[in-house]
Amino acid sequence: MTTHDAIRVLQRIATALEEMVPKTKPPADIKNSDAYVWNAEEKNLIPVEYPESMDIKLLQGIDEARDTLLANTIQFSKGLPANNVLLWGARGMGKSSLIKAVHAHINQQNPRSLVLVEIHREDIASLPQLIQTLRGWVIRRFIIFCDDLSFDSNDSSYKSLKSVLDGGIEGRPAHILFYATSNRRHLMAREMIENESNAAIHAGEPLEEKVSLSDRFGLWIGFYSCSQDTYLNIVEAYVKRYKLDISPEDLKKKAIEWQITRGARSGRVAWQFIQDLAGKMGKKLL
């Protein structure tokens, strides 16, 4: 084969490989939308016209977590250095609600300053493609958000997240951060971590590779089960916000009864109680 023939063959191979790479591009209105959901199958971003969020002032009992996440996100929105964040801990204590509330709060103060992009847990392997899609759009600042993130012992998709958090040879784009919520601090169940350690040929190697994933988040923010006083404070804040007409004594009695039937106390349980209470009163929560 001549040199000329070899070049033509290589060109054809390069063209074929290029055609095999999934084509990804942001939607045309990315300058105007503040929230998207990543469609991993179609490799595109779906605009969310009315992003769900709660008034940040209604998130009670998580003051330290709120202040830490808000400060980090404000830094990022101003173009200053900021960290990827893992919000972990008790169910129903407002981890994902806080991310959405902080995003909405900052955009209310400074419109169009942040874009929230949700990626579903089952699509985490496509995270590098999402990053590549957003890489060139430096005119906006993006927070990629994954709710309820965790991995089982047979799941290798954590490597995609690991490479994104590390930044790879190109480095993490300065206009993109990754926020995740999880019930697990190390993103794996304790028994899975122990199984990995016991099965290792060299003790600790697979364990360190997976547990070290959480170490790649610059900020860990913990959420803990709330006391009854905190639970009642959350309920009272909702009642005040939505102007529900009920006496303090009756409210406390009904809220505690609701909590007992649910077998838990949390911000989520408080919100479910308020929805039930408002519905029975015939009042809409606007």
Q: Give the CATH number, domain containing residue 163.
A: 3.40.50.300
Whether residues 186 and 64 fall in one domain: yes
- As for how many domains the chain has, the answer is 2
Using alpha carbons, select from 32, 72, 65 the residue that is nearest to residue 48. Answer: 32
Q: Are residues 61 and 203 in the same domain?
A: yes
CB atoms inside a 10 Å sphere around CB 228? 12
Residue 208 lies in a domain: yes
What are 143's strand-pairing partners?
Answer: 116, 177
Q: How far from the centroid of its chain's Cα atoms is residue 46's Cα?
A: 17
Whether 46 and 183 map to the same domain: the answer is yes
Q: 111 and 239 share a domain?
A: no
| Same domain, residue pair 107 and 235 | no
User: Which residue matches tokens 């759009």?
Assistant: 137
Whether residue 94 is found in the same domain as residue 158: yes
Question: pLDDT digit of tens for each residue in the chain (286 aa)?
Answer: 665 565 665 566 555 544 544 444 555 556 678 999 999 998 899 999 888 898 999 898 899 999 999 999 999 999 999 999 999 999 999 999 999 999 999 999 999 999 999 999 999 989 989 998 998 888 899 999 999 988 776 666 677 777 777 766 566 789 999 999 998 877 765 554 545 445 444 444 555 555 567 778 899 999 998 899 999 999 999 999 999 999 999 999 999 999 999 988 999 999 999 999 999 999 998 7
Same domain, 176 and 234: no
Instruction: Please say whether the beta carbons of 124 and 149 come within 8 A.
Output: yes
Same domain, 74 and 184: yes
Within-domain flag for 108: yes
On whether both 204 and 272 belong to a single domain, the answer is no
Q: Which amino acid is at 47?
A: P
Residue 79, domain member (yes or no)? yes
Q: Within a domain: residue 10?
A: no
Last residue of a domain, one of 176, 201, 223: 223
Domain coverage including residue 44: 35-223
User: Do 139 and 177 reside in the same domain of the chain?
Assistant: yes
Residues 218 and 244 in one domain: no
User: Do 114 and 250 reside in the same domain of the chain?
Assistant: no
